């Protein structure tokens, strides 16, 4: 019997079973459509309203119209409104919205460049303190656009804008700082840092598999190595080299090292560096890093305003005298210590506990990596994020000379950065160890918070009257990171005070590796 006959017989039988009523033909699946992002659009609408309100209030304040909201309130309204718009830009994939935000990002970049180069109100650089926030705001909106854009042409245009802007700012900052030392601080340094952030954003969005991104990362690394060599050579082999190094060479060397390490980490195929890039991506593709950074910006702004109030009162003779190093009273205060205590549990509580809860740790360890590489990669990524969180504190200080204020001794900041790096290593390693003990992020965060509180309160027993001059007081001073911070802000780094925190870092990392290896014993 032919195939056609069998088919006709089956159709006749099926019609008889249906009572002679033909069934409708089979239809294709319905079109799937994404749900509308109600929360991002609501926050975006509220953000737009706050931006308009804050902008109008700020204009009226600048015109001395005395609106009900002061200049500080209008700036705060603008900041909160821009955060709402940025949240909308990051999570709304609608084509019209994302293209609108792309245009806004490019326009903000043009405005930032214009403010940095126009001689207003008197000379070039007078509006620099307004141009830099525009450059950073542009970067955030362009990254949010690239997160959702799926058409290659528009992605390529936005990425090349990031590349050209980053190269231009890095060139101006590094080259101008090497030619003119007075340009390096703070203008050249700020240009260099913002340019590096633009280049990292380009490489991250493009992917290191792209030839253009690979050569951009290689160029960043080579530029950093060249700056390091020129800084060291000028300090060692020129007249007055030691004076140059303590004045500007150390800053230039630090910038060169940051460029070299950033570029090397981005283009290298080493297993540990690939894992570090993975962990950093996990931080900055989640809202945790941005919420933490926003909290740091707010708290550093409060600390900065309190610091300025102290300077103004001292200038008017209504408060105590302020002597160099003035940054000591800025960093060694309640808000910086509070932020350090809070941010470490936030950064570390999910590092290993979430991997164990979701089962991704077993998948990760099936790759050609061992427990030591996994622990070190998570440690380095969290430490880099922790150090970056302190950037707003330094950027606020750059506003003092840019706004026409007196220059201050910046060199204690270098010693403080070293102390912050060493003590931050101990904090992060402790949080990483507590994260390996449990599958619960909350439990890990509580344990890390208790650990941070213990290290903080060690500062007080050494100052009790019955402890003065005893061996216990000396022990507590060695264990107190606040004592180390205070000494570093005075421009003094004593190696023996670093030993405890280095030992603590090694000890906790060793315990974390052994905790992961203990999985093989079960």
List the domain range (segments joined by +) for residue 215: 151-268
Domain end, chosen from 213, 248, 268, is at: 268
Q: Distance (Å, rounded) from C-alpha 75 to C-alpha 297?
A: 13
Nearest to 347 by CA among 356, 339, 336, 358: 339
Tokens standing for residue 453:
């509180």
Cβ burial 218-231 (10 Å sphere, 16+ → b, else e): ebbbebbbebbebb
Question: Same structural domain for residues 264 and 340?
Answer: no
Question: Same structural domain for residues 447 and 464?
Answer: yes
Per-residue pLDDT of the chain (522 residues; tens, 9 = 90+): 444 454 454 455 454 444 555 555 555 455 555 556 788 889 899 999 999 988 888 888 777 777 777 777 888 888 889 888 988 988 888 888 889 999 999 999 999 999 888 887 777 777 887 888 899 899 989 988 998 888 999 999 999 999 999 999 999 999 998 888 778 877 888 899 999 999 999 998 888 889 999 999 999 999 999 999 998 898 888 877 777 777 788 888 889 999 999 998 888 888 788 888 888 877 777 766 777 777 777 777 777 777 777 777 766 666 555 666 677 777 767 777 887 888 899 888 888 888 888 877 777 777 777 888 889 999 999 999 898 888 777 777 766 665 555 566 677 777 888 899 999 999 999 999 999 998 888 899 999 999 999 998 888 887 776 677 678 888 888 888 888 888 888 777 778 888 999 999 999 999 999 998 887 676
Question: Same structural domain for residues 214 and 326?
Answer: no
The reply to whether 62 falls in a domain is: no
Question: Residue 429: in which H helix or E strand, if any?
Answer: helix 411-436
Question: Same structural domain for residues 168 and 191?
Answer: yes
Q: Cis check for the bond before 363: say yes or no (omega within 30 of 0).
A: no
The reply to whether 63 falls in a domain is: no
pLDDT digits (tens, 9 = 90+) for 194-228: 999 999 999 988 888 899 999 999 999 999 999 99
**DSSP character string of 207-256:** -TTSHHHHHHHHHHHHHHHHHHHHHHHHHHHSTTHHHHIIIIIHHHHHHH
**DSSP character string of 245-292:** IIIIIHHHHHHHHHHHHHHHHHH---HHHHHHHHHHHHHHTSHHHHHH
Q: Distance (Å, rounded) from C-alpha 489 to C-alpha 410?
A: 10
pLDDT digits (tens, 9 = 90+) for 28-62: 455 555 556 788 889 899 999 999 988 888 888 77
Domain end, chosen from 245, 268, 291, is at: 268
The reply to whether 118 falls in a domain is: no
The reply to whether 220 falls in a domain is: yes
Question: Same structural domain for residues 243 and 277?
Answer: no
Question: Same structural domain for residues 363 and 463?
Answer: yes
The reply to whether 376 falls in a domain is: yes
Question: Same structural domain for residues 161 and 310?
Answer: no
Question: Same structural domain for residues 294 and 400?
Answer: yes
Tokens standing for residue 367:
């790759």
CA neighbours within 13 Å on the CB side: how many for 391? 15
The reply to whether 363 falls in a domain is: yes
**DSSP character string of 51-102:** HHHHHHHHHHHHTT---SS-HHHHHHHHHHHHHHHHHHHHH---HHHHHHHH
Residue 503 is predicted with a pLDDT of: 94
pTM: 0.78
Domain end, chosen from 268, 287, 306, is at: 268
Question: Same structural domain for residues 263 and 278?
Answer: no
Q: What are phi and psi of 37, to 5 degrees?
A: -75, 85
Question: Same structural domain for residues 324 and 236?
Answer: no
Question: Same structural domain for residues 264 and 277?
Answer: no
The reply to whether 403 falls in a domain is: yes
Question: Same structural domain for residues 242 and 373?
Answer: no
Please count the structural domains in the chain.
2
Q: Are the beta carbons of 410 and 485 closer than 8 angstroms? A: no
The reply to whether 343 falls in a domain is: yes
């Amino acid at each position: 019997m032919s195939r056609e006959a069998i088919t006709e017989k089956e159709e006749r039988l099926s019609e008889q079973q249906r009572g002679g009523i033909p069934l409708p033909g089979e239809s294709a699946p319905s079109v799937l459509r994404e749900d509308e992002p109600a929360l991002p659009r609501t926050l975006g609408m509220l953000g737009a309203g706050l931006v308009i309100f804050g902008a109008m209030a700020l204009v009226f304040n600048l015109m001395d119209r005395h609106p009900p909201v002061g200049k500080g309130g209008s700036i705060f309204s603008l900041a909160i409104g821009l955060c709402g718009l940025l949240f909308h830009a990051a999570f709304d994939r609608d084509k019209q919205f994302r293209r609108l935000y792309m245009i806004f990002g490019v326009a903000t970049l043009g405005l930032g460049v214009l403010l940095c180069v126009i001689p207003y109100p008197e000379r070039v650089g007078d509006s620099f303190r307004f141009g830099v926030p525009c450059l950073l705001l542009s970067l955030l909106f362009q990254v949010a656009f690239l997160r959702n854009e799926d058409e290659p042409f528009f992605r390529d245009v936005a990425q090349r804008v990031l590349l050209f802007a980053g190269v231009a700012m890095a060139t101006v900052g590094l080259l101008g700082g090497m030619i003119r030392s007075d340009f390096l601080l703070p203008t050249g340094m700020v240009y260099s840092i913002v340019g590096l952030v633009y280049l990292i954003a380009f490489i991250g969005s493009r992917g290191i598999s792209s030839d253009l991104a690979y050569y951009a990362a290689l160029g960043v690394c080579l530029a950093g190595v060249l700056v390091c060599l020129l800084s060291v050579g000028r300090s060692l082999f020129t007249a007055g080299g030691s004076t140059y190094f303590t004045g500007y060479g150390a800053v230039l060397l630090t910038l060169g090292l940051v460029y070299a390490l950033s570029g090397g980490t981005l283009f290298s195929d080493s297993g540990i560096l690939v894992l570090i890039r993975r962990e950093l991506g996990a931080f900055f593709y989640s809202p945790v890093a941005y919420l933490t950074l926003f909290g740091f910006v707010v708290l550093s702004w409060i600390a900065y305003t309190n610091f300025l109030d102290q300077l103004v009162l001292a200038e008017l003779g209504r408060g105590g005298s302020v002597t160099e190093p003035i940054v000591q009273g800025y960093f060694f205060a309640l808000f910086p210590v509070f932020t350090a205590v809070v941010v470490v549990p936030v950064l570390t509580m999910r590092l290993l506990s979430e991997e164990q809860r979701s089962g991704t740790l077993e998948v990760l360890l099936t790759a050609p990596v061992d427990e030591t590489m996994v622990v070190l990669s998570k440690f380095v990524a969290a430490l880099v994020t922790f150090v970056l969180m302190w950037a707003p504190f330094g950027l606020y200080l750059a506003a003092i000379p840019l706004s026409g204020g007196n220059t201050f001794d910046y060199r204690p900041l270098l010693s403080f950065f070293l102390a912050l790096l060493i003590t931050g290593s101990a904090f992060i390693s402790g949080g990483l160890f507590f994260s390996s003990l449990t599958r619960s992020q909350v439990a890990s965060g509580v344990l890390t918070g208790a650990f941070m509180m213990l290290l903080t309160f060690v500062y007080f027993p050494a100052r009790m009257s019955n402890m003065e001059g005893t061996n216990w007081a000396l022990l507590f001073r060695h264990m107190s990171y606040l004592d180390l911070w205070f000494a570093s802000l005075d421009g003094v780094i004593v190696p023996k005070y670093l030993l405890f925190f280095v030992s603590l870092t090694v000890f906790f990392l060793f315990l974390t590796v052994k905790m992961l290896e203990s999985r093989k014993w079960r």
